[in-house]
Structure 1
Amino acid sequence: MATKLMSSSSIACLFLVGALLQVVSAVDYDVGGDFGWNLPPNPTFFSDWTRNKTFFVGDKLVFRSKSSESHDVAEPERQTDLDGCVKPGITLSTSAVLSISLDSPRRRYFICTIGNHCNAGMKFSVDVFVNPNSALLPPPPPSSASSLRFGAVLAAAMAGLFFLLTI
């Protein structure tokens, strides 16, 4: 039985679909990279960390503290509050790992309110944008179980498409 080889246009189509899926997928950012959410070596460390990144609705900031020192995460409302390290009413603990979803397009501010940590540089802001390619896929499912189901359906669809293109 002879098998038909995939045409170059079929292969290109698969790569295009894969690239589009990659473009619109949400990203989990470990705040501070490998350094984590810890007392920084200089006051601009976290601002420098955000500088070359573009944050989109659906992305997450993951705060991980790798030291025995306590840290928290608070979200001031204004730039002046960030600059002055003004502690907002609600503070979130980072006893292990804290994940914050970037759920709307706007500027967001984050600080550590413990001791003098904010004044030492544990603060930064991010601008959150709407991904211009987000209309290519349906909105993300509301729960992790739905997320797994969506991934399984997507994988099955891609496998079916691959099978049809190779016949």
Structure 2
Amino acid sequence: MEDSKPCRYFSSVCTILAVLGLLVSGAASEVYTVGDSDGWNSAVDYGVWSQKYNFSVGDVLVFKYVKGQHDVYEVTESTFRSCDTSTGVLAKHTSGNDQVTLTEAKKYWFVCNVAGHCLGGMRFGIVVKGSITAESPAPAPQSGALAPPQINKNGDQALRGLSLWDYLILLGVSIQLCSVQ
């Protein structure tokens, strides 16, 4: 009878990788600094800034500003439109380095509550789409060609791992190979 230790070892490694992959497949997210290098201040057109990106559940917005000169309020749409924060405030951030995780697929609205700042343009709304794992895959490279690096939403090179289907296929292949023995 043939020794099946290599098969068991391979199967164990593949199973562990598949399980770990399934656990982290939806954990990839992007971090966006609001206003990019200009940060959160009255000199930026946040309508233009927010249109550059496609936001997904799990992404994080980082608001960088001088504490005491600005703040960040997450508000309802009507509060966003009126800039009147006497009602409709969902969350207040005042640290100067606030991180807001986008937890739901919905419209988010943000304003600066310092007098005159919201009406002066320190406000924006974004649409957050569902899970990033639902994105369509990049087209396969032509035979013999290396795929170009993926670029993330901030223009940096993105490191993408295997998809959920890749892990499931890997697990199925390892089970199939060992069941032949």
TM-score by length of 2: 0.54
Q: 1:34-65: per-residue Cα shift (whole Å, max 9, x none)?
A: 00011125xxx001001121000000000000
TM-superposed deviation, 1:134: 5.2
RMSD: 2.9
Answer yes or no: is the 8 Å Cα contact 2:79–2:89 preserved in 1: no
Answer yes or no: is the 8 Å Cα contact 1:76–1:86 preserved in 2: no
* Moved segments of 4+, more than 3 Å: 21-24, 88-91
Tell me the matched-pair count.
112
| Structure 2: gaps of 5 or more residues | 1-23, 136-181
Q: 2:78 matched to 1:83?
A: no
| Aligned partner of 1:27 among 27, 30, 33 | 30
| Structure 1: gaps of 5 or more residues | 1-20, 136-167
Change (3 A) 1:54 1:108: same
Answer yes or no: is the 8 Å Cα contact 1:64–1:97 preserved in 2: yes
- Secondary structure of 1:63's counterpart equals strand
TM-superposed deviation, 1:24: 6.8
Q: 2:97 matched to 1:97?
A: yes
Q: How many Å separate the matches in 2 of 1:51 and 1:125?
A: 9
Q: How many Å separate the matches in 2 of 1:103 and 1:89?
A: 17
Amino acid of the residue matched to residue 76 of structure 2? E
Q: How many Å separate the matches in 2 of 1:68 and 1:97?
A: 8
Change (3 A) 1:109 1:69: same
Q: How many Å separate the matches in 2 of 1:68 and 1:104?
A: 27
Answer yes or no: is the 8 Å Cα contact 2:57–2:128 preserved in 1: yes
Change (3 A) 1:132 1:63: closer
- Secondary structure of 1:75's counterpart equals strand
Q: How many Å separate the matches in 1 of 2:132 and 2:106?
A: 15
Q: How many Å separate the matches in 1 of 2:97 and 2:67?
A: 13
Q: How many Å separate the matches in 2 of 1:36 and 1:132?
A: 25
Q: How many Å separate the matches in 2 of 1:104 and 1:90?
A: 14
Change (3 A) 1:28 1:91: same
Report what 2:43 is aligned to.
40
TM-superposed deviation, 1:99: 0.2
Q: How many Å separate the matches in 1 of 2:127 and 2:26?
A: 18
Report what 2:11 is aligned to.
none
Answer yes or no: is the 8 Å Cα contact 2:30–2:60 preserved in 1: yes
Change (3 A) 1:109 1:131: same
- Secondary structure of 2:127's counterpart equals strand
Report what 2:72 is aligned to.
73
Q: How many Å separate the matches in 2 of 1:28 and 1:132?
A: 13
